[in-house]
Chains A and B, each alone.
Chain A
Amino acid sequence: MTPPLLGVEGDGQGNVSLMTSASTMESIFQKNPGLTERNYMGLSDCSSVDSSVVSGISEVKRNNLNLRATELRLGLPGSQSPERDADVDNASSESLDEKPLFPLLPSKDGICLGSQKTFVSGNKRGFSDTIDEGKWMFSSSGTDSDASKTSVQGKISAVAQPNMTKDATSKMMPQEQSHGTFGTNLNKVNASNPPASKAQVVGWPPVRSFRKNILATNSKANDEVDGKPGPGALFVKVSMDGAPYLRKVDLRSYTAYQQLSSALEKMFSCFTIGQCGSQGAPGRESLSESKLRDLLHGSEYVLTYEDKDGDWMLVGDVPWDMFIGSCKRLKIMKGSDAIGLAPRAMEKSKTRN
């Protein structure tokens, strides 16, 4: 079975998979008047996928192609480009009905890969909005550089080095120059963003939670002198107001609030985790009441947890280890509902500190 070509005549490369140069791509689009480029992202070119084999970083022409191919996304589409909303309306209404069931022409009219995740988040403030404000992380310290890089769509550049951490996913290019095919940006990205600990993608790697449980407790057990089993896996349910489903997360698979935050981010799209508190360094950086109030009024949702005493607390007040020791359940509440928690949170942290 030979796949139909792009309908480009005179292009010596008879095999789609051999299309290696950007200019070929460009010419294909120009030769196909029937195709209209769709520009969902406000980017200059909307080209088809560059299926080039990356032979070297230098060879890849980054800037000509709108390499949507590279807008590879991890995990659930949890974030959205603000521009997308506008473009959705402008998008061609050439609906699918017009071309049903026709043999696939690999001309990618309008198929800008990966960019089409329209998450019209309705009334909720999109992730991107919060990102820009840089206020979406729990902790204000340490990994902020990564936080700010974690802009909008969670797009990543393809990873060239296997050691590249998951956080590479959040090292995305600003939209204006979405570029880079596989492995090209890596150096650039790496230089600017030192790899931090991995943020988790939902369901990746494909290891069952059951197994993760065991591993978590086993590794804890290894630290213990007499080999007794550790305290047990720490899967807690996460519910969200207004959402019909809940999820479970293994708190032991994170080591900081930031990781938890980004994982939940990916699981529950279209919501905001407000900055709920400091890293809980004892005696310092305690959440000021006014700061908390700003936070709660500013964001739509906050992350709360039920602790061992049955009280609902804001996540982020206490040191991470203390948190996972006392957290029984997580809940993503509307900010307005969580306001009542603030005083209690303040009190509790005061008594703790």
Chain B
Amino acid sequence: MAYSFPEEVLEHVFSFLASQKDRNAVSLVCKTWYEMERWCRKRIFVGNCYAVNPRIMIRRFPEVKSVELKGKPHFADFNLVPEGWGGCVYPWIVEIARGYPWLEEIRLKRMVVTDESLELISKSFKNFKVLILSSCEGFSTDGLAAIAANCRNLRVLDLRECEVEELSGHWLSHFPDSFTSLESLNMACLSYEVSFSALERLVSRSSNLKTLRLNRNVPIEKLSILLQRAPQLVDFGTGAYSSEIRSDTYSSLAEAFSGCKKLKSLSGFWDVVPAYLPAVYSVCSQLTSLNLSYATTQSPDLSKILGQCHNLQRLVVLDYIEDTGLDTVAMSCKDLRELVVFPSDPFVADANVLLTEQGLVSVSEGCSKLQSVLYFCRQMSNSALISISKNRPNLTCFRCCILEPRAPDYLTFEPLDIGFGSIVENCKQLTRLSMSGLLTDRVFEYIGTHAKKLDMLSIAFAGDSDLGLHHVLSGCESLRKLEIRDCPFGDKALLANTSKLETMRSLWMSSCSVSFGACKLLGQKMPRLNVEVIDERENLDSIPEDAHVEKVYIYRTVSGQRPDMPDFVRTMGKDKDEVYNLS
């Protein structure tokens, strides 16, 4: 039947397929469709930069316009991956520069991006439009200057929580005066002051600017100027939101905000002086996204704002919001889809704020569309978790972090097994779960039994035995990313589920009970898995096989061992010659 459709028709049909999953499925139907699909695929997402090498990608998909890569494992965010581990993007950029001269978009997450890479990007792609770097590091403001100077058609420069070596603030001034295509600029993670006049001119001439996220150094007095230049903004991030209280500053700010009729998203708010908060009241009812997680504002002031945010869909706050603030959210923000509550003082033993599990229960009751939760708290109970699960069976992402490891149900002192078990049992669409608190193997049995759609699971300080891990690996059919730290999981579970590991993107285990011998065996038996042991001790060669590795990162790959491993990373069970098959 495939040959009855002319290619153009097929191509047209495929153009409606946006999701990578769908496209992958389509390409498996038959050879014709495989060929068709590969020629018209425009976006590529590589979830693990070591799973495939760029030449394979370029050979198969010659017409790609957008590449997205992810590098380090997620736990790198929490300092669990030593520096120098890898994830350097430069080799990819070299190949892509050669293979995709018309590339338009690059999105990188948790990768090491050098100035060299940025310079190469800026010079290699004539039509380059979008650069999004999330949690990346390794570059300086010189690299940014190169991007600014050379990418004539740039639309998006988005630096999300990157670690940038800041040599100066002059990089912004490298955007030429003729450059007017900017649509999105996020420099919130930078701290050096940029020339305000250069910024103002840039904003003024960028009539398509929709997103502007300033860094902390832009003073509040200047915000109104920028907002007046760009009243079409949809997404705005302030700088430091503090100053001496001056009525003229306040009134011009309030007026400027009220002129932004399209504003939907607000963030920034470092060093908030509460008196300035009402300046945003005029836009509250428009907001769909609000990030106050840098604002050490207390609950009453937060409630005043949130009480007006009737269309809010995404809220990120600190635990200063307290249970009372969350009650306000539950009452006022009926469209809420995502709630994130970060801890203001995670290392203090005693609670410094009145935020408990009750706040989350409250939101779960009041916000019927709530789907995604990241909640840091100091106490949790099974009954609260059960309530949440019954209130919100539509949850897709549930991440609950009780600050104290292995904290039990604070009411009954029991493990939180049934609570989290209830979550996976009732929330049938759950794709992401992070658990904490006191947990035994039992919770993993629940997970293995019920969490059939679970895609990503994060576990810490939990479980009793290999059985726990076995439940997860054998039961969670959709599991692709599993990250585990400080759990008594070991060899048996791993070796009993080797084929499962090939269906997953990656497995991270640190401070567990996995032995060198098991890693070697796994690596030997599974040629398409890289079993990388990260171990920073000396004399590794004299450590016996049944000793435990510090960390192991297992991922599937079609490219063999990676060639850029530092000393403390070893691929187990492979011949030394089988390195990074480039063919």
CB proximity of A332 to chain B, nearest CB, Å: 13
A203 at the interface (CB under 8 A from B): yes
**B493 lies within 8 A of A104 (CB):** yes
A16 near B491 with CB under 8 A, answer no
Asked if A162 and B537 sit within 8 Å, CB to CB, the answer is no
State the CA gap A345–B135 with chains docked (Å).
39
CA–CA, A75 and B487, complex, Å: 11
A1 to B471, alpha carbons, bound, how many Å? 9
Are B496 and A102 interface neighbours, CB within 8 A?
yes
Check B296–A114 contact: CB distance below 8 A: no
B466 within 8 A of A: yes
- Bound together, the chains give a CA A197 to CA B440 distance in angstroms of 27
- Identify which of B296, B349, B376, B470 contacts A165 (C-beta below 8 A): B349
Could you give, for residues 206-249 of chain A, a 1 whenever the CB lies within 8 Å of some chain B CB and a 0 otherwise? 11111110110011011000111100100000000011111110
Question: Chain A 58-76 against B: per-residue CB contact (8 Å), 1 yes, 0 no?
Answer: 0000000000110011111
Chain B residues within 8 Å of A16, by CB = 441, 445, 467
Stretch binding the partner chain, chosen from A115-123, A279-287, A292-300: A115-123
Contact mask for chain A residues 93-130; partner B; CB cutoff 8 A; 1 contact, 0 none: 00111011111111010010110111111111000000
Q: Is the CB of B161 within 8 A of A53?
A: no
Chain B: minimal CB distance from A172 (Å):
13
Q: Do A95 and B546 form a contact, CB below 8 Å, given A205-B346, A248-B79?
A: yes
Tell me whether A202 is interfacial, beta carbon within 8 Å: yes
**A122 contacts B460, C-beta separation under 8 Å:** no
Query: Are A164 and B404 in contact, with the CB atoms below 8 A?
Result: yes
The answer to whether A96 and B544 have CB atoms under 8 Å apart is no
**In the complex, residue of chain A having the shortest beta-carbon distance to the beta carbon of B518:** A96
Judge if B405 is at the interface, Cβ distance under 8 Å. Answer: yes
Contacts of A165 in B (CB 8 A): 349
**B406 & A72 in contact (Cβ 8 Å cutoff):** yes
A224 to chain B, nearest CB (A): 9
- Which range holds the interface residue count of chain A? 35 or more
Is A51 a contact of B441 with CB atoms below 8 Å?
yes
Q: Is A35 interfacial (CB 8 A cutoff)?
A: no
Known A-B contacts A113-B464, A163-B350, A205-B376; the reply to A219 vs B413 at CB < 8 A is no
Interface check A175, CB cutoff 8 A = no
A317 within 8 A of B: no
Known: A108-B466, A203-B79, A205-B343. A162 touches B270 (CB 8 A): no
Give the interface segment out of B19-27, B169-177, B229-237, B239-247.
B239-247
Q: Name the interface residues of A239-283: CB closer than 8 Å to any CB of B.
A: 242-248, 253, 267, 269-270
B273 CB within 8 Å of chain A: yes
> Bound complex: CA of A232 vs CA of B488, how far in Å?
39
Does A77 belong to the interface (CB within 8 Å)?
A: yes
> Could you tell me the distance between the alpha carbons of A104 and B78 in the complex, rounded to whole angstroms?
32
Shortest C-beta distance, A323 to chain B (Å), equals: 18
A201/B405 in contact, CB under 8 A: yes
- Cα–Cα distance between A206 and B375 once the two chains are bound (Å): 11
Query: Do A159 and B79 form a contact, CB below 8 Å, given A96-B521, A102-B496, A210-B189?
Result: no
Residues B77-136 near A (CB distance < 8 A)? 77-80, 82-84, 135
Q: A117-B548, A164-B349, A269-B537 are in contact. Are A104 and B470 (CB under 8 A)?
A: yes
A267 to B511, CA, bound (A): 12
Question: Contact check: which of B79, B350, B543 meets A118 at CB < 8 Å?
Answer: B543
**Please, which residue of chain A has its CB at the minimum distance from the CB of B80?**
A203
Contact with A along B558-569 (1 / 0, CB 8 A): 000000001110
A95, closest chain B residue (CB):
B517
Nearest residue, chain B, Cβ from A207: B346
In the assembled complex, the Cα of A137 lies from the Cα of B293 at a distance in Å of: 36
Is B242 within 8 A of A210, CB to CB?
Answer: no
B445 in contact with A53 (CB, 8 Å) = no
A130 nearest CB across to chain B (Å): 17
Cβ-based interface call for B249 (8 A): no
Write out the residue numbers on chain A whose beta carbons fall within 8 Å of the beta carbon of B408: 54, 158-160, 182-183
Residue of A91, A117, A200 near B347 (CB, 8 A) is A200
Do A203 and B548 touch (CB < 8 A)?
Answer: no
By the criterion CB–CB under 8 Å, are B470 and A207 in contact?
no
For residue A220, give the distance in angstroms from its CB to the closest CB of chain B. Answer: 10
User: Which B residues between 207 and 245 are near A, CB-CB below 8 angstroms?
Assistant: 216, 240, 242-244
- The 8 Å CB contact of B343, one of A207, A222, A232, A243, is A207
B496 touches A104 (CB 8 A): yes
B521 x A97 contact (CB < 8 A): yes
Contact of A162 among B343, B348, B378, B417 (CB under 8 A): B378
Given contacts A120-B547, A243-B536, contact A101 B438 (CB under 8 A): no
* Bound-state Cα–Cα, A89 to B547, Å: 10
Verify A74–B486 contact, CB threshold 8 A: yes
Count, A-B residue pairs, CB within 8 A: 295
Instruction: Report Cα–Cα, A214/B470, bound state, in Å.
Output: 40
A246 nearest CB neighbor, chain B only: B83
Check A118 against B414 for contact (C-beta < 8 Å): no
Is B538 engaged at the interface, CB distance under 8 Å to the other chain? yes
On chain A, the residues within 8 Å of B449 by CB distance are 1
Asked if A95 contacts B545 (CB within 8 A), the reply is: yes
Contact A74 to B544, CB < 8 A, known contacts A53-B440, A101-B525, A244-B84: no
**Is B566 a contact of A244 with CB atoms below 8 Å?**
yes
Residue of B79, B497, B521 ringed by the most chain A CB atoms within 10 A: B79
Whether B78 pairs with A76 at a CB distance below 8 angstroms is: no
The residue on B at minimum CB distance from A84 is B547
Q: Which residues of chain A have C-beta atoms less than 8 A from B271's C-beta?
A: 218, 221, 227-229
Q: Give the shortest distance, in Å, between B105 (CB) and chain A (any CB).
A: 24
Question: Would you call A198 an interface residue if the criterion is a C-beta within 8 Å of the partner chain's C-beta atoms?
Answer: yes
The answer, yes or no, to whether A166 is at the interface (CB within 8 Å) is yes
A42 interface contact, C-beta 8 A: no
Q: How far is the CB of B554 from chain A (nearest CB, A)?
A: 15
A17 sits at the interface (CB 8 A):
yes
Determine whether the beta carbon of B405 is less than 8 Å from that of A204. yes
Determine if A48 is an interface residue (Cβ-Cβ < 8 Å): yes
Nearest residue, chain A, Cβ from B348: A198
Asked whether B465 is an interface residue with its Cβ less than 8 Å from the other chain, the reply is yes
Question: Cβ of A77: which chain B residues have Cβ within 8 Å of it?
Answer: 511, 548, 550
CA of A102 to CA of B448 in the docked complex: distance in angstroms?
19
Is B243 a contact partner of A205 (Cβ separation < 8 A)? Answer: no
| Residue B461 lies at the interface, judged by CB distance under 8 Å to chain A | yes
Shortest Cβ gap from B448 to chain A (Å): 6
CA A77 to CA B543, docked complex, whole Å: 15
Report Cα–Cα, A227/B215, bound state, in Å: 17
Identify which of A88, A159, A163, A222 contacts B405 (C-beta below 8 A): A159
Residues of B within 8 A of A212 (CB): 346
User: Is A219 in contact with B344, judged by CB distance below 8 angstroms?
Assistant: yes
For B80, what are the chain A residues with a Cβ–Cβ distance below 8 Å?
Answer: 202-203
A351 within 8 A of B: no
**8 Å CB contact of A104 from B467, B547, B567:** B467
> Are B442 and A17 interface neighbours, CB within 8 A?
yes
A105 to chain B, nearest CB (A): 8
A100/B490 in contact, CB under 8 A: no
B548 touches A210 (CB 8 A): no
The one of B344, B464, B513, B538 in contact with A215, judged by C-beta atoms closer than 8 angstroms, is B344
Query: In the bound complex, what is the Cα–Cα distance between A204 and B77 (angstroms)?
Result: 11
Which single member of A52, A96, A106, A244 contacts B465 (CB below 8 Å)? A106
B293 (CB) vs chain A CBs: closest residue: A211
- Which among A49, A51, A74, A198 is the interface contact of B461 at CB below 8 angstroms? A74
29 contacts between A and B (CB under 8 A): A1-B449, A16-B441, A50-B464, A51-B465, A69-B488, A72-B405, A72-B461, A96-B546, A108-B465, A116-B490, A116-B515, A120-B544, A121-B537, A156-B406, A162-B379, A163-B378, A165-B349, A166-B349, A182-B415, A205-B401, A208-B78, A210-B161, A211-B293, A211-B342, A219-B344, A219-B345, A244-B82, A244-B567, A245-B536
Given contacts A72-B405, A104-B467, A122-B542, 18 further A-B contacts (CB under 8 A): A102-B495, A104-B493, A104-B496, A111-B465, A113-B488, A123-B539, A160-B408, A162-B378, A162-B402, A163-B404, A165-B349, A182-B406, A182-B438, A206-B78, A210-B161, A218-B271, A229-B240, A245-B568
Smallest CB-CB A-B distances: 4 pairs: A49-B464, A203-B78, A113-B488, A165-B349
